Amino acid sequence: MLTQNDLKQIQKIFNPVQVDVSDFKKDVSGLKVDVSDLKKGLTQTQKDVKDIKKDVAQTRKDVKVIISYFDREYVDLRKRIERIEEFLRLPPEN
């Protein structure tokens, strides 16, 4: 005949393994918080990148304006030098 202890041992063998899901629930809730924080960080990063793109576009426009200004100044000065060279009958430099 089987004793009570024997029956318990047999039950342990045939019962499915019971998992403590409370640890998993804690892990999942922690992961949810982490993902939420990542989403917030990503949103802020996207906003920052958008601001940077605007700044770069404005900088490009500013550089184009500066270059065109100095190009015109250079051309004007070049014309004046050529007129002076002609008036003084100097050979142009290459």
Tens of pLDDT along 47-58? 999 999 999 999
Beta strands in 15-94 (DSSP E): none
In this prediction the pTM is 0.54
Q: Where are the domains of the chain?
A: 20-88
Tokens of 9: 């041992």
Residues 92, 82: contact at Cβ < 8 Å? yes
Distance CA 74, CA 78 (A): 6
% of the chain at pLDDT higher than 90: 64
